[in-house]
Amino acid sequence: MQALKSTFILFLILFSSLLLSAQNKKTKKADATFNAGEYSKASEMYTKLYSKATTKIAKAELSFKLGECYRKINEPKKAEKWYLKAVNARYQDPMSVCYLADAMKMNEKYADAIVEYEKFKDLVPDDPRGADGVQSCELALKWINNPDRYIVENMKDINSKQSDYSPAFFKDNSVLYFTSTRESGAGNEVNNNSGQNFADIFFTMRDRKGKWNEPVPANGEINSQFDEGACSINQSGSDIYFTSCKVVKNETVGCQIYHANYTGSGWAQPELIPLVKDSSISVGHPAISPDELTLYFVTDMEGGVGGKDIWKSTRTAKGQKWGTPVNLGTPVNTIGDEMYPYIREDGILYFASNGHIGLGGLDIFKLDKDESGHPLIVNLKPPINSPADDFGIIFDGKEETGYLSSTRAGGKGNDDIYSFSLPSLVFTLKGTVRNETTDETLSEANVKLEGSDGTSLETNSGTDGGFKFRVKPETDYILTTSKTGFLKGKASESTKGLTKSTDIAVEIFMSPINASIEVQNIFYDLNRWELRPESMVALDKLIETLNLNSNITIELSAHTDFRGSDQDNMILSQKRAQSVVDYLISKGISKDRLIAKGYGESQPRKISKKLGDKYDFLNDGDVLTEDFINKLPTVEQKETAHQINRRTEFKVIRTDFDESGVKFGE
């Protein structure tokens, strides 16, 4: 019996060893598949291994590897799921925390991502991705809530349920080339890397009505049974540069860049551009400069800054050999990946990166310069960028229109092509002309608009007192109004700094020439006549009125309340009126246009409809005599009435003043 028990235990040990050996072989095979870049196939193999794993350590390692597979094939939701399992199982590689945060950021879980980036900062203090990740999440929330004016729309006419990306213009904006994994291409077998068909280069043409035709594979010899795409075409349409990724059994072969000429009926047989000597190194995403003397491309070969970097090769003339590749270095390249370079017509470099501060995944950036001329990396922000991957941008010449690639939510397939355009800013200045005394609207007032750019426009206010002008961006405007029987009115507005189309509202008040107009916010200390500083600010508006209406002569009057003797109030009001006149003269107003008059308490205020609407205990037509005030029921109401009586006013007494000092008619 004991011998039988020993034999059974030995059998279990041998069986477990065989199972472990088989598992190890399957793990090595899955690892080899992953290392060969066949991430979709590797994910299936790792999933089967995970279902049979019995130890926490094995499950943690397989979770991380599955996260890596889904990160590589750009499925952030699945990547987050498996990285989270790895982190919860205390997987030892701190990059599991960083990649978990990256996936959360792409899934717009910014608060959760910040927590993980903070953990990564503690684990690897010297790695900038922790601090950069926190900053990215904070800025992403700010940018998403304040997007730029671009309109981004899915190109539903040309996108498929598969991947469509990396657009390029052919000669002009009526023909668009792009990369696609749709089934109508030459590469109709499944790519174990992406899990989709091998990619080919397609093109579509726009008809006279602006509608894009059904895309078809590019004519000629550039497509094969393997991956082709990410092309760049010179401005004349005679040359194409594209990436081709061959598959050779039992060999590690990297992607390479090829060149082909257009023959008129299609693309000729492509030729390899030998940028690297080692064929196992992948080179791709070509971008030819407008002068065709510089070729930008992407590779992760030795000598780079981080993961995939942007490099360039130059030549002395078209047709000459390309020179030794040079890494663009910082600030373009980072510890992350920089991909899909594009040189705009003005020579500015655009590219995609997940290493610079962004919203999540790949964002589109441009290499600009700051005020001192130093290189400056600029994130194009939403809606050009999104939390998903955004890449492969092109512009229609100098216009702020073009196309880009994105995996953002709401697309037709995994990668989709989107159009973008920057609509013109539309500013409308809508105004109303009103009577300063009654607040009623004034019709048939002449309204003149003058802009800092030299613009000069005129119109008349309508029956409702309204007027409207179409105005330009980044411009200052002055509006002046005139109408018989009224003083000219003035207002200023500006469109400088406005980044969104806006209807600007303005009201211009005009004072009747025959009315007494109160000068608001004139203050004195008790029983004093010297102007307080805040009063001088208020008088600047009166100075503007006098300058605008240079033909008028005014009486400047001061009034007191009923408290104090009549004689004292008369003297005090005269001194106050004179202090205002003296201030106006000091500011350049001719003394011949000004008369100071103190009325003391002799002219109690008559309440207008406008003032009656402001105070519920006063009515239109009330006169604030001493007897009226004494009958008011509360101390507060009485004090308010006294305050209304204490005022500074002006009224027009002549309209024939000439700057020379000679009155008209003399």
pLDDT at 304: 92
Q: How far apart are the first and last CA of the chain?
A: 144
Q: In the predicted model, what is the mean pLDDT of residues 321-325?
A: 95
CATH, domain range 23-145: 1.25.40.10
Predicted confidence band of residue 21 (pLDDT cuts 50, 70, 90): low
pLDDT at 659: 61
Distance CA 412, CA 414 (A): 7
Residue 188 above 80 pLDDT?
no
Q: In the predicted model, what is the mean pLDDT of residues 222-232?
A: 93
Predicted confidence band of residue 534 (pLDDT cuts 50, 70, 90): confident
In order, the DSSP letters of 286-320 are EEE-TTSSEEEEEE--TT-SSSSEEEEEE-SSTTS
Distance CA 319, CA 196 (A): 36
pLDDT at 663: 45
Residue 148 above 60 pLDDT?
yes
Nearest CA-CA partner of 422 in 381, 362, 390, 453? 381
Distance CA 420, CA 150 (A): 6
Residue 146 above 80 pLDDT?
yes
Q: What is the mean pLDDT of the chain?
A: 90
pLDDT digits (tens, 9 = 90+) for 614-636: 899 999 999 999 999 999 999 99
Nearest CA-CA partner of 645 in 523, 577, 559? 559
Q: Which two tokens stand for residue 584?
A: 């106006």
pLDDT at 664: 37
Residue 498 above 80 pLDDT?
yes
Residue 562 above 60 pLDDT?
yes
Q: In the predicted model, what is the mean pLDDT of residues 232-243?
A: 96
pLDDT digits (tens, 9 = 90+) for 260-315: 999 988 999 999 999 998 888 999 999 999 999 999 999 999 999 989 999 999 99
**Residues of the chain with pLDDT > 90: what percent?**
73
Nearest CA-CA partner of 227 in 265, 262, 196, 263? 196
Q: Look up the CATH superfamily of 427-510.
A: Carboxypeptidase-like, regulatory domain (2.60.40.1120)
- Domain formed by 517-654, architecture: 2-Layer Sandwich (3.30)
Buried b (16+ CB within 10 A) or exposed e, 221-246: ebbbebbbbbbbbbeeeebbbbbbbe
Distance CA 387, CA 104 (A): 10
pLDDT at 9: 47
Q: How far does Cα 582 stand from its chain's mean position?
A: 52
Domain boundaries of the chain, sorted by first residue: 23-145, 151-421, 427-510, 517-654
Predicted confidence band of residue 250 (pLDDT cuts 50, 70, 90): low
- The two domains 23-145 and 517-654 share their CATH topology (first three levels equal): no
The helix/strand/coil state of 523 is coil
Single-letter code of the amino acid located at 106: M
- Structure-token match 């990619």, residue found: 199
Q: Is residue 120 within 8 Å of 131, Cβ to Cβ?
A: no
More confident residue, 248 or 290: 290
151-421 folds as Tachylectin-2; Chain A (2.115.10)
In order, the DSSP letters of 226-278 are SEEEEEEE-TTSSEEEEEEE---TTS----EEEEEEB-SSSB---EE----S-
Predicted confidence band of residue 187 (pLDDT cuts 50, 70, 90): low
Q: Is residue 80 within 8 Å of 100, Cβ to Cβ?
A: yes
Question: What residues contact residue 508 under an 8 Å CB cut-off, 6+ apart?
Answer: 431, 432, 433, 434, 447, 479, 481, 489, 490, 491
Question: What residues contact residue 565 under an 8 Å CB cut-off, 6+ apart?
Answer: none
- 387 cis-preceded (ω within 30 degrees of 0): no
Nearest CA-CA partner of 448 in 440, 457, 461? 457
Q: Which two tokens stand for residue 270?
A: 């492509």
Residue 17 above 50 pLDDT?
no
Q: In what order do the strands lie in the sheet with 416-421?
A: 151-154, 416-421, 401-406, 390-395
Distance CA 361, CA 354 (A): 5
Residue 15 above 60 pLDDT?
no
